[in-house]
Amino acid sequence: MSIPVSEQHTAAYRARKVPAPLRVTDGVWAVPVPLRGSPLRFITVFLVETSEGLVLIDAGYEHPSCWESFTGSLAEIGHDLGAVRLVLLTHNHPDHVGFADRVRATTGAKVVMGRDDDFAHQKRVRGGGFLVQLRRALELTGAPQEVIDGMYDAAVPVARHSESLELDLAPERDTEHVLGDVTILGIPTPGHTYGHTVYVDTSRGVVFTGDTMMAEGPTQLAIPSLPADNPAGDLLTSLDRIRDLGVEIACPAHQFPYRDIAARARELKAFHQAELDTVEKLLRTHDSAWEIAPHLNRARPWEELGTGARRFALIHTLSLVLAVTQ
């Protein structure tokens, strides 16, 4: 069980409300940004203060309401947008990269994201962007064609991936980002996406975990669209790396900041390992991810899931199946 940094922030999350900005620790601010039209309700972007300006971790949707909320919160906590010098993106999902380019255009800040999540790199290596990868993965699940078509068609209008973002830096290994008196270490942690990166403020003992390790619940696995993809195995390795960081506070992009990071990493790894064990057993009597998905434990039964939630669950199951069968 994760130990919340702020009971007030956590209570707002549990009440399905958007929390107020939070001073997580000296020099680190959590800035929740509402996500209009998303069941997630909000994403938390983080600000790190340095002697030479601000570092921004993640960047919400590319939507006027997100921008207005973000800039309003900056003013509320006494910071100016023009002080942002560096934007570190944990991964390439639309609720994380949305207004990064606008920040750069306004402030001149550099934008950084892991190489395997760089849109141009993905198109070269994976043969296409998000929707191409999604279609390919759905075809691997063994679902009936009408289900595949329905899930894909439903995903198209909500897949707001702006795949034109150009990065100033796209690291493929551990990288130090130095701004003034602060060093932030970027550590590749694939699993949720292939280029997912967590960022560690080494002096303050804070890790920004993106979507790899929330305070509660499982991690959604990446879309497996190439034969060698193994996001489940990647995630287990990434959790070990986070467990061994020795930092005090985790700042995930959703839910709430928390302590006792090593225990949370062990708990989450055990959950996903149990999923793999269950899938291995189910493969003795079932032939595909489509057949297995209804039998896995989740917050809501398969029968109660809508099209979008079933799509996420099915892709997650496919990732588990591939990890077991590779």
What CATH code is carried by the domain that includes residue 258?
Answer: 3.60.15.10
Distance between CA atoms of residues 300 and 249, nearest Å: 30
Is the model more confident about 317 or about 161?
317
Q: Is residue 170 part of a domain?
A: yes
When pLDDT is cut at 50, 70 and 90, the band that residue 75 belongs to is very high
What is the per-residue pLDDT across 217-262, written as a single tens digit (0 to 9) for each? 999 999 998 888 999 999 999 999 999 999 999 999 999 999 999 9
Residue 161 has pLDDT above 70, yes or no: no
Q: Is residue 20 part of a domain?
A: yes
Residue 159 has pLDDT above 80, yes or no: no
When pLDDT is cut at 50, 70 and 90, the band that residue 267 belongs to is very high
Q: Is residue 286 part of a domain?
A: no
Residue 86 has pLDDT above 90, yes or no: yes
Q: Is residue 323 part of a domain?
A: no
Q: What are all long-range contacts of 300-305, with beta carbons under 8 Å and residues at least 24 apart?
A: none
Residue 319 phi/psi, 5-degree rounding, is -60, -40
Q: Is residue 134 part of a domain?
A: no
Which of 235, 93, 114, 234 has the alpha carbon at shortest distance from 159?
93
Q: Could you list the residue range(s) of the whole structural domain that residue 191 is in?
A: 3-127+164-269
Q: For tokens 């009936």, what's the residue?
A: 144
Residue 307 has pLDDT above 90, yes or no: yes
Which of 29, 9, 28, 11 has the alpha carbon at shortest distance from 19?
9
What is the per-residue pLDDT across 21-57, written as a single tens digit (0 to 9) for each? 999 999 999 999 998 767 778 999 999 999 999 999 9
Can you give the pLDDT at residue 160? 65
Q: Running DSSP on this structure, what letter comes out for residue 185?
A: E
Residue 178 has pLDDT above 80, yes or no: yes
How many domains, in total, are found in the chain? Answer: 1
Q: Is residue 26 part of a domain?
A: yes
Q: Is residue 140 part of a domain?
A: no
Element (H, E) at 93: none
Residues 197, 179 contacting (CB under 8 angstroms): no
Taking the model in full, what pTM does it have? 0.95
Can you give the pLDDT at residue 225? 87
Q: Is residue 298 part of a domain?
A: no
Residue 228 phi/psi, 5-degree rounding, is -90, 0
